[in-house]
Amino acid sequence: MIRTNTLRLLTASALVMSLSACVSVTSAPAGPYKVGAATVTLGHEWSDISAIMFARPAKVRLLSMDGPLLNRLYVTDGLAPGEFMVKPMAKERPTPTYRAGMAPTELVEFVTDSVAALDYQRVETDNLRPAKVGSAEGLRFDLKAKTKEGLDISGAAQVAEVGGKLYVVLYIAPSEHYYAAELPEVETVLGSVKVG
């Protein structure tokens, strides 16, 4: 049973996004959730809020339980060199871009700078560790940040390069209650990434 209150979710969403008449929040039921070549397994139903999220490229999907201000789970298809997680709003204000040949720490930087481009402040990483994504070597790390209003945010991220493309799973939520509430589910999702 989904915990999301759809009305509350939409109300919260409306505060931070432009809604058009032809987009909607949909269900992402428990089980396999496919984003292009990537598939993750959801342990319970989420709301797919991709269609109403601001500055989202087509290869990035966004799930939430309680609304985008309270928890966000980004899952990307493979980003090719030159692609990004956050769509730039103007040519003069580019967002972080994935490039071929990035060192592992540059992949971490790509994610943290993307989180900063989503308007989070003072983004820091911790606990960088190896991760397996299928047969590929990936990286896991934790994040700390703040909203502009000063709310503490925690995050968990995983990146892996497969076939020259970058696959990212990123979870961010307020440190108080919301982050821990979904962390066991997110750990399962992070461990379930399959490519191809």
Partner 1 sequence: MPRVLRPRAKGLALLAAAVLAAAPAGAQPRAPHLRPADTSDEGGIWALSEKAELAARQSAERNRDPALNGYVTGVVAKLAPEYQGDIRVYVMDRPFFNAQMAPNGYGEVWSGLLLRVETEDELAFVLGHEVGHFSENHSIEAYRALKARLGATMAVQFAVAAVAMGAAVNAGSAQGASDIMRAAGALNDLLYLGQLAAYFGFSRENEVEADGLGFQRAVKAGYDPAAGAHLWRSLIAETGASSFKRVREQEARVSIFSTHPLSSDRVKALDDLAAKTPTKASAAADRKAYRAAVRPHLAAWLKDDLRRRDYGQSLALIDRLSAQGEDLGVLTFYRAEAYRQRRGEGDLELARKAYAQAGAHADAPVAAWRTLGDLSLQAGDRPAAKTAYETYLARAPQAQDRWLVEASLKKLSEGSAT
Interface residues with partner 1 (CB under 8 A)? 15-17, 54-55, 89-96, 99, 101, 103-106, 113, 116-117, 119, 121-122, 125-130, 146-151
Q: Are strands 152-162 and 136-146 parallel, antiparallel or unpaired?
A: antiparallel
Q: Which is nearer to partner 1, 38 or 118 (CB)?
A: 118
Least separation in angstroms between residue 103's CB and partner 1 is 4
| Cβ atoms of residues 66 and 4 within 8 Å | yes
Q: Which is nearer to partner 1, 1 or 90 (CB)?
A: 90
| Cβ atoms of residues 100 and 164 within 8 Å | yes
Residues 62 and 120: their CA atoms lie apart, in Å, by 17
Tokens 């919260």: give the residue: 12
Q: Which is nearer to partner 1, 17 or 183 (CB)?
A: 17
Least separation in angstroms between residue 34's CB and partner 1 is 27
In single-letter form, the type of residue at position 30 comes to: A
Q: Which is nearer to partner 1, 40 or 114 (CB)?
A: 114
Give the residue among 118, 111, 113 at the shortest CA–CA distance from 54: 118
Tokens describing residue 142: 């934790």
Helical (H) or strand (E) element with 144: strand 136-146
Residues 104 and 92: their CA atoms lie apart, in Å, by 27
Least separation in angstroms between residue 27's CB and partner 1 is 24
Q: Which is nearer to partner 1, 76 or 112 (CB)?
A: 112
Tokens describing residue 52: 């109403």
Least separation in angstroms between residue 150's CB and partner 1 is 4
Least separation in angstroms between residue 159's CB and partner 1 is 13
